[in-house]
Amino acid sequence: MVSRSYSNLLELASGEPPSFGRMSGRIPRIMRVSGLISEVGSDSSESVHLDSSSSVQKDRFIIVANQLPIRAQRKSDSSKGWLFSWDETSLLLQLKDGLGDDEIEVIYVGCLKEEIQPNEQDEVSQILLESFRCVPTFLPPDLFSKYYHGFCKQQLWPLFHYMLPLSPDLGGRFNRSLWQAYVSVNKIFADRIMEVINPEDDFVWVHDYHLMVLPTFLRKRFNRVKLGFFLHSPFPSSEIYKTLPIREEILRALLNADLIGFHTFDYARHFLSCCSRMLGLSYESKRGYIGVEYYGRTVGIKILPVGIHMGQLEHVLSLKETETKVAELMKQYTDQGRIMLLGVDDMDIFKGISLKLLAMEQLLQQNPELQGKVVLVQIANPARGRGKDVKEVQAETYSTVKRINETFGKPGYEPVVFISEPLKFYERMAYYVVAECCLVTAVRDGMNLIPYEYVISRQGNEKLDKVLGLKSSTPKNSMLVVSEFIGCSPSLSGAIRVNPWNVDAVSDAMNSALEMAVPEKQLRHEKHYKYVSTHDVGYWARSFLMDLERTCRDHVRTRCWGIGFGLGFRVVALGPSFKKLLMENIVSAYRRTTRRAILLDYDGTLIPQCSIDKSPSSKCISILTSLCRDKNNMVFIVSARSREKLAEWFSPCEKLGIGAEHGYFLRMERDIEWETCLPVADCSWKQIAEPVMRLYTEATDGSTIEDKETTLLWCYEDADPDFGSCQAKELLDHLESVLANEPVTVKSGQNIVEVKPQGLSKGLVATRLLSTMQDKGVAPDFVLCIGDDRSDEDMFEVISSATSGPSIAAGAEVFACTVGKKPSKAKYYLDDTVEIVRLMQGLAAVSDQLVTSATQ
């Protein structure tokens, strides 16, 4: 474990002692801060300071993202050096402001937009650490290009926005060297975090798809690191995601976080589906929280869209510059009888700018009376990526704008005003204030806060009301036309939602927005404003971090150790008494004892679950025969399989005991008659259950029914995982309903739904074996029980409780062992069936030696 001295860098920089506290349990519904987030001039050290005299203990959060919320500019004079200031438009800075400086200390780790020369990096690092609590990550230009412009923007970003590289022109084909650059950069980020983290106390919050494998590197260094991840882009459906060659590596890396956040349920659902289909993991919801069980750890899933910074927007709306710009736009458009429609988008292929323009063209064609009245102002922010696709979008956009203006324009009127130069924030807000309708027609977008900003701007303030010629008591109104495929769409129930690919529908929506009655616009605006103003960035950040703290609460109570190599690394978290069953320990105990009880599950224990040939191998038969040959042993196979099948498979083992159908049928040796552990079952209930199962089998391709003497089993192992699981839940409810008055139990297991007599469990076999040995006056001094699934837990429970009773000798050697590292009532584990067979082979060899020496 790394000591607390990792925090010394920050302590030395700030001159204050380390301090850590707890988060407040209350989430403020709104965050308003007077003024901008920060007012940092050239002398940033005066604006950002650390109060070393404060005695209030704070939680410390390390916020990690591709880019720091910092603006950098070279000094204009001849002296070398840089000027730094906060980037108030950065979500990461707004996040910090929302958390509150009095409660939480925030450290940033990320890259700067500008390239810093190697000989300047130490000085820049010191300045940013002391004055801004930022830890810059410096990347060589060629590595950064491969990582960001290569893998992130040409491979991950298109795929996460549903673009498959079907040809070289459609997104980037997978390139192993770019992937290696991506991994290398994530590792560099991990190294920088190591320099400042206090692993026992700090929380780490990683942002977005640029750093998706970072959780693995952090978890590998610190098994108990408190780590959250939030994805700000869409997460594609499993059909799209599974085309990624490194799909499992990324999934496993994300699962090394404690909490994974998504903007919408759809994105979370796609992620969970990928975990199910590609990793075989299931999830469940408990008390409103969704969790994925992953090697003993519960990885939380958080669904909450990000919000805007109310204080910042209200401040910008109150600026004199904003008022002046609004007045200018009113004179340019409203006073001329023009109605402004507004679009604000990045210039990239997924923002649907050209589709919006086509809808505008159709609106003017179908409604000639709107020509000369309606103007679409399209603000195009610079593209974040670069490449052929950006150039194609720009060319198409310019040509479409030119065609529309040439067709419908006239002196003094341009139907489309295209603004490609960067606007200042207050200028953009002024356009929001004046626009009658905001159009967001992205074909795929992670969140998009443009509609939120528009709603707040239309609410305005008293000064803007005067400029607009409104009374302060006048209810405000706004109209939104938003794509169904953006993350903010579900939260804007008053917007007109459209399929951006359907140009006719978008055009009709634009017309509906223009014709809608003012009272209805006011009601829609009121609904949107209430949601947007209360679910701001502060609410989002606090809610995420509170859930992260809750998810990490049990870290100190679990034993953790890492398994796997490279990006396959993961941490197993289990109880403090759970440990691996070592060959030397059990062989030593076996030699010392003379009255042994051995209970073995079959499927998943002696043979792999995935094995096509389910019959025991010759090696397995040989091992069991050797163990049974020792008169001091009582060996049992306990299985859910039918007695006919088990009797056929294990006929060579004369002294082997068998418990079939979960122990309903019991046979102490091959030549002894079968007996039952429960009264003879009335199976008339099968006449009710079997037709129901048959119905689900016909509707679920790949599912089968297995009819045993006392149990009925529906198996969906070969069905579609998601559909099979869904059908299994429905079948479980259906069977519980129709069999409510029958003496049976309906249970679900791994890819099965099973109906069996009440009280039937494998624990009956363990109880019967121990009592039989006790009746013979040979209470066992050695007990070995091995199983792999939920049904075997009953045997473990019986054995554990019997250790304090007369059925097991005092001081007996007891080994309850499960297969794989997972939560269990067993105290030991072995990794797989190969290790189990090796262990049993070792015991069989010892047994042969003991038998041979006894006969000599």
Beta-carbon contacts of 140 under 8 Å, excluding residues fewer than 6 positions away, are none
Strand residues in 168-240 grouped as ranges (E): 203-207, 226-230
d(CA 344, CA 377): 8
Ranked by mean pLDDT, the top range of 83-97, 243-257, 748-762 is 243-257
β-strands 134-136, 259-262: how paired? Answer: unpaired
Nearest to 619 by CA among 341, 844, 430, 798: 844
d(CA 515, CA 684): 67
pLDDT of residue 11: 41
pLDDT of residue 171: 59
Q: What is the maximum alpha-carbon separation in the chain? A: 117
Question: Which residue type is seen at 138?
Answer: F
pLDDT of residue 314: 94
Cross-strand bridge partners of residue 828: 579, 817
Write the pLDDT tens digit of every residue in 361-398.
999 999 999 999 999 999 998 877 666 778 889 999 99
- In our burial notation (b when 16+ CB lie closer than 10 A, e otherwise), range 682-704 reads ebebbeebbebbeebbeebeebe
pLDDT of residue 633: 92
CB 696 within 8 A of CB 731: yes
Question: Which residue type is seen at 184?
Answer: S
706 pLDDT exceeds 80? yes
d(CA 658, CA 645): 11
pLDDT of residue 3: 36
> Where do we find the tokens 């002294």?
655
**Helix count (H) and strand count (E) of the chain?**
29, 32
Write the pLDDT tens digit of every residue in 605-634.
999 877 888 899 999 999 999 999 999 999
pLDDT of residue 2: 37
Among left, alpha and beta (phi > 0; psi -120 to 50; other), residue 13 is: alpha
Would you state the structure tokens that stand for residue 227, as one six-digit string?
């780590």
Beta-carbon contacts of 205 under 8 Å, excluding residues fewer than 6 positions away, are 61, 62, 63, 64, 227, 228, 229, 230, 544, 545, 548
> Where do we find the tokens 């008053």?
494
Nearest to 595 by CA among 346, 769, 786, 371: 769
**CA 99 from centre of chain:** 23
SS3 content of the chain, % helix, strand, coil (to 5): 45, 20, 35
pLDDT of residue 5: 35
727 pLDDT exceeds 90? yes
Cross-strand bridge partners of residue 439: 481
Average pLDDT over residues 646-664: 92
pLDDT of residue 8: 40
Helices (H), 576-720: 583-592, 618-629, 643-649, 686-699
Cα–Cα distances (Å) from 103 to 61, 229, 520, 560, 681, in that order, read 11, 21, 42, 30, 64
52 pLDDT exceeds 70? no
> Where do we find the tokens 């196979």?
637
Mean pLDDT of the chain: 88
- Burial level of 583, CB count in 10 A (0-12/13-18/19+)? middle
d(CA 376, CA 297): 52
Nearest to 343 by CA among 447, 420, 249, 266: 420
Write the pLDDT tens digit of every residue in 812-842.
999 999 998 777 889 998 988 999 999 999 9
Nearest to 439 by CA among 513, 365, 530, 515: 513
43 pLDDT exceeds 70? no
Q: Which of 121-125, 162-166, 507-511, 784-788 has the lowest mean pLDDT?
A: 162-166
pLDDT of residue 140: 95
Nearest to 91 by CA among 68, 71, 107, 72: 68
13 pLDDT exceeds 50? no
Would you state the structure tokens that stand for residue 835, as one six-digit string?
């290790």
Total Cβ atoms within 10 A of residue 222: 21
9 pLDDT exceeds 70? no
Helices (H), 367-424: 388-408
Total Cβ atoms within 10 A of residue 800: 15
CB 428 within 8 A of CB 449: no
β-strands 480-483, 657-660: how paired? Answer: unpaired
> Where do we find the tokens 């060996």?
635
The pLDDT-based confidence of 170 (bands split at 50, 70, 90) is low
Cross-strand bridge partners of residue 749: 752
d(CA 211, CA 234): 15
18 pLDDT exceeds 50? no
pLDDT of residue 250: 97
Strand residues in 263-304 grouped as ranges (E): 283-286, 289-294, 297-303
Write the pLDDT tens digit of every residue in 342-351.
999 999 889 9
**18 or 746: whose pLDDT is higher?**
746
β-strands 283-286, 289-294: how paired? Answer: antiparallel
Q: Treating both helix axes as pointing N-terminal to C-terminal, what angle do 763-775 and 793-802 enclose, rounded to 10 degrees?
A: 30
Write the pLDDT tens digit of every residue in 758-814.
888 899 889 988 998 988 888 999 999 999 988 899 999 999 888 888 889 888 999
Average pLDDT over residues 146-153: 94
CB 213 within 8 A of CB 250: yes
d(CA 318, CA 380): 25
**64 or 821: whose pLDDT is higher?**
64
What one-character-per-residue DSSP string does 718-753 give? TS-HHHHHHHHHHHHHHHHHHTTTSSEEEEEETTEE
d(CA 290, CA 299): 8
The pLDDT-based confidence of 461 (bands split at 50, 70, 90) is very high
d(CA 845, CA 840): 9
Would you state the structure tokens that stand for residue 625, as one six-digit string?
């025969």
169 pLDDT exceeds 70? no
Write the pLDDT tens digit of every residue in 264-304.
999 999 999 999 889 988 888 888 899 998 988 899 999 99
